[in-house]
Structure 1
Amino acid sequence: MTQRQDLSRWAVLSIAAAIVTIALKTVAWWITGSVGLLSDAAESVVNLVAAVGAFIALRIAARPSDDDHNFGHSKSEYLSAVAEGAMIVAAAGFICYSAIERLINPQELDAVGIGLGISVIASGVNGLVAWKLMSVGRSQRSAALEADGKHLLTDVWTTAGVIVGVGLVAVTGWSRLDAVVAIAVAINIIVVGWRLVRDSTMGLMDTVIPDAERGVVDEVLDGFRTSGVDFHDVRTREAGHLRFVQMHMLVPGDWTVRRGHDLAEDVEETLRRAVEDLRCTIHIEPIDDPRSYESWRR
């Protein structure tokens, strides 16, 4: 089994972006006194923690298989994504708490223009890094990087909402609008966090490979089917960037072991060329034996 490419350097980019944005948003909050900007800065702290978690998970995922982990360490990325989703929800709770307190005790905002300008710069940094992380995450099928990118993109939308809230306060003079927008932002964060937890948990549960890739597998197998060769009980799962498929290959009972083995090797090689990072296991059985058609699902 080939070793997973080490993608942790991209998590370092996320860590650097989080540090920069925390500094910028904290300054913006300190200047304006906006609870919306405070909540935005708090979410950036979560971004930093999540980025560190992604870095660790990616380093683990890059380790080769060993005696204790025969199928590699790729699922560590799902653990990072689940933790990130949970932290997003926790950050939303802090935002709600701060916003409700400000609803009860509204406060005038100061130096709104300067604060918003700083927030726009911070949002631009997050947006660029989010786009890069999601791009690399998709191309490398990295759950940790894609989750981190989505988290940062959520931060961009969060900042946009906060900017709208602070801007409305400046225009209308109604200070409670700042808190109202912060609560709306928190609700959006909770939704995103829940989706991250849900999708990553599905990965830990050995979900089948995507339909498009399963279609490629079926197309390859159809190319090997003849009057004497068939495939049965084909099942798949994915673990991080890896895809696994196992099946029964039914061949004439009078074939030699070598002939069946040679065909299985051809099938495996064709499948590996057709689907990236695919690991294939084939069990050879006689096509004329009724027991060969028994399914593990019964």
Structure 2
Amino acid sequence: MSERATLARSAAFASIGVAAVLISLKTWATVRTGSAAMMGSLADSSLDLLASMVTLVGVWIAAQPADRDHRFGHGKAEAVAAMIQVLLIAISAAAIAFRSIDDLVSGARVTAATDGIYVSLFAILATLGLLAWQRFVIARTRSVAIRTDFVHYQSDLLLNLAVIAALALDQYAGLSGADPLFGLAIAAWLIWGAYRSGTEAIDHLMDREWDEAKRQRFVEAAAEHHELSNLHDLRTRTAGNRDFVQFHVDMPARMTVGEAHDILEKVEEDLCRRFPDTELLIHIDPRGHVDEPDNPLAEENEFAKLEKRP
């Protein structure tokens, strides 16, 4: 098993462990307080557990090597896992909003707020520890599934602070509508988090191009190899923790296949060293070749674009 796969799995197992502990405590606190905000926090932790299990399966599948049926590898399994998490977050938000509206209309009040506050404080400390480990893992694996989990647990910090505020305002300040109003705010925050988390996963599934800054860095690195000219039809995408790049370059028409192969081997070695976990596919065109004018994906010379930059 690779180091990246081991780290990603450790982050997923850590998420499962934290979620399981918090579910037990929040179940007890929900029974004690009758709080809609605490119930929302419990629902969120329950879905955290399901989402973390999905993450574990996603990173396990993504770590599998390419095979005959999946020659580009299994990296997109992480994006699929992330999308399932987004769905679970949305379901959680809807349930919280429904309960909060019901409590707001009925004028329900909380009890035993102190117990709920202590549980929420513990949840904050446990979540901070988990986030620290997830940040470490993301920096070394670029796992989109772990990153989605990270975003969700970040929102849990605000969620638990909101629960503390709701309980304190309801029971100690006498504001009867505070708890359900905070519950609605938590639901809205979760929906926003689901939207942000889903964007990157959709980009991976739809093979979105790299951002312009990363594309330019790649072209600049390729331009250092003066044997190449007229780099065009550059296409890039990311699947899980792997990048894929393909492009065309012009080389002398009279160059032998063996000579061209030796040059491109050195180019690939250098580019893959500078852009780790990248698979390259380079197509050679004879110098002077012109692509069909009606090809909608044909692009201008990327090296020429560099020269035009100020």
Report the TM-score when normalising by structure 1. Answer: 0.93
Contact 1:130 1:150 in 2 (8 A): no
Can you list the C-alpha shifts for 1:10-63, whole angstroms capped at 9, x where unaligned?
211100000001111112212211111111111100000000000001110111
Q: Distance in 2 between matches of 1:186 and 1:222?
A: 49
Can you list the C-alpha shifts for 1:157-176, whole angstroms capped at 9, x where unaligned?
11111111111112321222
Q: Distance in 2 between matches of 1:260 and 1:143?
A: 37
Contact 1:3 1:63 in 2 (8 A): no
Q: Distance in 1 between matches of 2:33 and 2:229?
A: 73
Structure 1 residues 289 and 193: CA distance shift in structure 2, 3 A? closer
Contact 1:89 1:194 in 2 (8 A): no
Structure 2 residue 289 is the aligned partner of structure 1 residue 289: yes
Contact 2:30 2:39 in 1 (8 A): yes
Can you list the C-alpha shifts for 1:120-143, whole angstroms capped at 9, x where unaligned?
102211222123213312321100
Can you list the C-alpha shifts for 1:221-251, whole angstroms capped at 9, x where unaligned?
211235x733221211111111111111211
Can you list the C-alpha shifts for 1:178-233, whole angstroms capped at 9, x where unaligned?
1011101111111111221222111100112244432331112211235x733221
Higher mean C-alpha deviation, range 162-171 or range 178-187: 162-171
Q: Distance in 2 between matches of 1:213 and 1:113?
A: 50
Cross-structure match for 1:278: 278
Contact 1:130 1:148 in 2 (8 A): no
**Structure 1 ranges of 4+ moved more than 6 A:** none
Higher mean C-alpha deviation, range 150-159 or range 129-138: 129-138
Cross-structure match for 2:223: 222
Structure 2 residue 110 is the aligned partner of structure 1 residue 114: no
Q: Distance in 1 between matches of 2:266 and 2:295?
A: 24
Deviation at residue 101 of structure 1 after TM alignment? 0.9
Structure 1 residues 66-215: aligned runs within 5 Å:
66-215=67-216
Gaps of 5+ in 1: none
Structure 1 residues 6-21: aligned runs within 5 Å:
6=6, 7-21=8-22
Q: Distance in 1 between matches of 2:193 and 2:288?
A: 52
Q: Distance in 2 between matches of 1:279 and 1:292?
A: 26
Q: Distance in 2 between matches of 1:62 and 1:271?
A: 23
Structure 1 residues 289 and 111: CA distance shift in structure 2, 3 A? closer
Cross-structure match for 2:254: 254
Can you list the C-alpha shifts for 1:70-117, whole angstroms capped at 9, x where unaligned?
011011000011111111111000001111111111233222122201
Contact 2:144 2:200 in 1 (8 A): no
Q: Secondary structure at the match of 2:12?
A: helix
Q: Distance in 2 between matches of 1:118 and 1:233?
A: 56
1:100 is aligned with what amino acid?
A: I
Cross-structure match for 1:238: 238
Identity %: 30
Deviation at residue 296 of structure 1 after TM alignment? 5.9
Cross-structure match for 1:65: 66
Q: Distance in 1 between matches of 2:182 and 2:10?
A: 35
Higher mean C-alpha deviation, range 195-204 or range 96-105: 195-204
Structure 1 residues 3 and 16: CA distance shift in structure 2, 3 A? closer
2:199 is aligned with what amino acid?
A: R
2:50 is aligned with what amino acid?
A: V
Q: Distance in 2 between matches of 1:89 and 1:234?
A: 37
Q: Distance in 2 between matches of 1:151 and 1:69?
A: 30
Gaps of 5+ in 2: 299-310
Deviation at residue 145 of structure 1 after TM alignment? 0.7
Q: Distance in 1 between matches of 2:236 and 2:116?
A: 52
2:106 is aligned with what amino acid?
A: N
Deviation at residue 253 of structure 1 after TM alignment? 1.0
Contact 2:4 2:140 in 1 (8 A): no
Cross-structure match for 1:269: 269
Report the TM-score when normalising by structure 2. Answer: 0.90
Q: Distance in 2 between matches of 1:198 and 1:287?
A: 40
Q: Distance in 1 between matches of 2:295 and 2:138?
A: 36
Q: Distance in 2 between matches of 1:104 and 1:202?
A: 41
Q: Secondary structure at the match of 1:5?
A: helix
Higher mean C-alpha deviation, range 51-60 or range 6-15: 6-15
* Number of aligned residues: 296
